[in-house]
Amino acid sequence: MSIEKKYILVDTKEKVKELLEHIDKSEVIAYDTETDSLNVRRGNIVGFSVSGEIGVGFYLPTLIWNINTLQLEENVIDGTPAHRIAKVIIKKLKGKKVICHNASFDLRYTKNYYGIDLLEDLWIDTGMLFHTVQEEGAFGYGNPFALKSIAKKYQNELGLDENDEANQEQLDLKESIKRNGGTITKVAYEIYKADIDILAKYAAADTDLTLRIAYYFLEVLKQEGLEKFFFEDEVMPVYKEVTIPMEEHGIRLDIPLLEKSKKEIEEDMVKYSSLTVKELMSKQEVRDWIVNRAIEAYPPSPKGSYAQKLLELSNAELPKTAAGKYQLTKKTMSLLEDGPIKTFLQEGDINVIDTTLAMRVSMELYKEDNEGKWFNIQSKSQMGSIAFDALKLIPLSQTPGGKPQFDDSYIDSIAEKHEWAANLQIYNRLTKIKSTYIDRFIE
């Protein structure tokens, strides 16, 4: 069931008062900053958003792009400078259970810019929460741990309208930025050039999504018996006490050596990833597993993406839309040559199509949706399914939720007997070295 969205641009004293009342009555608050730079020491906060209730989000713009002077200028709300109002509001977050997605960025920016430290108030980083319960991330939906990727994959579970794009606010934002002459590259994402009402909806949606993700995956965390691990033993304590302070203060590093090491590790990762996949793909059981997953994900249909891919693979000569899609109307369908494909698209009877072609369509769609991969060797759930469901290996233990446990210990236990597991073991170790000791210092 979709939950109605109420996103508010804070541009009057009355709305400031409404925002303060919203914070006062909320124990848990999602918080997010919008900035003009990725440099937390030199950039500016152009606005921030909060949400203490699913479906509700407030955005207060502090700097606004002046299209006449081509400069960012401080916003004024009924005669009061917005930065002064911002400090009052952000201080209200002290003592609350603060939730962020990529908290290190938002909290360090806030501390540097406003002198307000919310680290001790940080309750959950939703990126860390999602990674804890879904190690493979939102695979096939873009950056697997990005806020919008999670929203797209879990659109229904998060109470988003399934008839709308889960990231509609992001799409509108990009169009507005480009329309106003701004850029949307990773290096120069000029978010502040968007129309203020569109930017407000985007920012408010971010905190709303953050809150939805937190509440949904907290239940998953509880079901998996990982609450103590997340809140007390490892994830959040290490993130708050080690990662964020380290990113804030920094350490002296030999960057050229790290970059050289990173390149060598990445080359080895490609090697052992390829060996793992090659060994597994040589097994008929794994190939059958892939086919079944592809057909399950993309069953034959005379409509939508399946029909489009079927026509593409058949080299159909039909008119296309401006977006490059085949026009499937009665008029255009009459242009198709009589045969199995035309019959299927008109009547929906899959039995008229060659089985190999029908299966190929599903597999092409499946692979495209998974970034050109048949399976993700970083996904514990997918690799566990291959090991236990396809290869019929015997698990050694179960997760708190009662599922067969596929983890590093299990991989270590079977590495001597199975070549693919030995290669995966090396790949996983390289991945941890890269993410733990290389990436976080270079990037």
CATH assignment of the domain containing 412: 1.20.1060.10
| 234 domain-assigned | yes
Do 442 and 382 fall into the same domain?
Answer: yes
| 273 domain-assigned | yes
Do 400 and 273 fall into the same domain?
Answer: yes
Task: Say if residue 359's pLDDT is above 80.
Answer: yes
Identity of residue 136:
E
Distance CA 190, CA 35 (A): 9
Distance CA 149, CA 137 (A): 9
B/e letters for 400-437, b = 16+ CB within 10 Å, e = fewer, are eeeebebeeebbeebbeebebbbbbbbbbebbebbeee
| 350 domain-assigned | no
What's 158's domain CATH number?
Answer: 3.30.420.10
Q: In what order do the strands lie in the sheet with 28-35?
A: 6-9, 56-61, 45-51, 28-35, 97-100, 122-125
Q: Closest Cα partner for 130 from 105, 106, 97, 154?
A: 154
Q: What pLDDT is attached to residue 412? A: 93
End residue of a domain, out of 249, 283, 305 = 249
Identity of residue 344:
F
Give, in order, the Cα–Cα distances in Å from 324 to each of 96, 157, 312, 319, 362.
49, 31, 11, 9, 20
- Tokens for 426, please give them: 């090396």
Do 274 and 220 fall into the same domain?
Answer: no
Give, in order, the Cα–Cα distances in Å from 112 to each of 42, 43, 123, 165, 276.
9, 9, 20, 35, 45
Residue 108, burial from CB neighbour count under 10 angstroms (0-12, 13-18, 19+): buried
Q: What pLDDT is attached to residue 163? A: 61
| 226 domain-assigned | yes
For residue 403, the enclosing domain spans: 256-296+372-443
Domain count of the fold of the chain: 2
> Which letter does DSSP use for residue 45 in this model?
E
| 159 domain-assigned | yes
Do 19 and 164 fall into the same domain?
Answer: yes
Task: Say if residue 436's pLDDT is above 90.
Answer: no
End residue of a domain, out of 223, 249, 275 = 249
Q: Which residue has the tokens 């290869």?
A: 391
| 308 domain-assigned | no
CB 77 within 8 A of CB 89: no
Q: What pLDDT is attached to residue 282? A: 95
Query: Residues 276-320: pLDDT tens digits?
Result: 999 999 999 999 999 998 998 889 999 889 999 999 998 888 888
Query: Residues 107-161: pLDDT tens digits?
Result: 999 999 999 999 999 999 999 999 999 887 877 777 888 898 898 889 889 988 7
Q: Is 271 helix (H, G, I), strand (E, B) or coil?
A: helix
pTM: 0.62
Q: Which residue has the tokens 């939508």?
A: 304
Residue 225, burial from CB neighbour count under 10 angstroms (0-12, 13-18, 19+): exposed
Do 139 and 266 fall into the same domain?
Answer: no
The pLDDT confidence band at residue 101, using thresholds 50, 70 and 90, is very high
Distance CA 36, CA 50 (A): 19
**Poorest-pLDDT segment among 3-17, 40-54, 371-385:** 371-385
Range 30-40 average pLDDT: 94
Range 13-38 average pLDDT: 96
